[in-house]
Amino acid sequence: MIRRATIWLRRFRRREDGSATIELLFWFPFFIWVTYSGVDLGLMSFHHANLERALDETIREVRLNRLPAGETEWKHDLLKDMICDRARLLPDCGANLSLEMKSLDPFSSLAAQNLNQTPLCADTPEEVRKPEDRVFEAGASNELMIIRACMEVAPVWISTILGQGVRENASGQFELHSTTVFVHEPA
């Protein structure tokens, strides 16, 4: 009886006919997870490239001092509106975009200028901040400026590969950062 069972088990193990249902059950969730992660990564890359392009186009206008019609000076809300107009496909851009612009001394290090390594990603009104923590300075002619934009974007699917390597805020949104440095052209 034992001999018959071992012979039957050997034949069963060597057989190659049948279906791959068990293998499919084991591997299918993994393949779906990788596919969803790829889609999520592609969308995040698209949003980041869109933010970079919109910031570069807007800063070109600032650098050349080409104010829109009816405006007299560069302001936080004006730059934010210009970036959101150029980045039309960013989800809820007006509420999720924050800007930080400061003057830089080209002859000292960034650490000496009290520039935080990570940009501020919460668009808090200036009235709430202390005067010494002012985040948006318009700058003057021939002044070196740094502008950092942070956009909060919600992931399409939760717990993908992307979510494990990206910084999230408390509401579960990913932070996309874009930084550029420019000099105001003389008027």
Q: What is the pTM of this model?
A: 0.73
Inside any domain, residue 116: yes
Residue 138 sits in which domain range? 27-183
Inside any domain, residue 61: yes
Inside any domain, residue 34: yes
The total of structural domains in the chain comes to 1
Q: What is the mean pLDDT of the chain?
A: 77
pLDDT at residue 83 is higher than 50: yes
pLDDT at residue 105 is higher than 90: no
Edge-to-edge strands, sheet with 97-103: 97-103, 144-153, 174-183
The pLDDT of residue 53: 94
For 150, phi and psi rounded to 5 degrees? -130, 130
Burial of 55 (0-12, 13-18, 19+ CB in 10 A): buried
Choose between 127 and 88: higher pLDDT: 88
The pLDDT of residue 57: 92
Inside any domain, residue 76: yes
Inside any domain, residue 153: yes
Confidence of residue 55 (pLDDT cuts 50, 70, 90): very high
What 3-state class would DSSP assign to 160? coil
pLDDT in tens, 8-31: 888 877 776 766 677 788 888 888
pLDDT in tens, 148-179: 888 888 777 766 665 555 555 666 677 888 88
Inside any domain, residue 5: no
The pLDDT of residue 117: 66
For 94-121, what is the mean pLDDT?
A: 73
The pLDDT of residue 65: 78
The pLDDT of residue 93: 84
Inside any domain, residue 157: yes
Inside any domain, residue 3: no
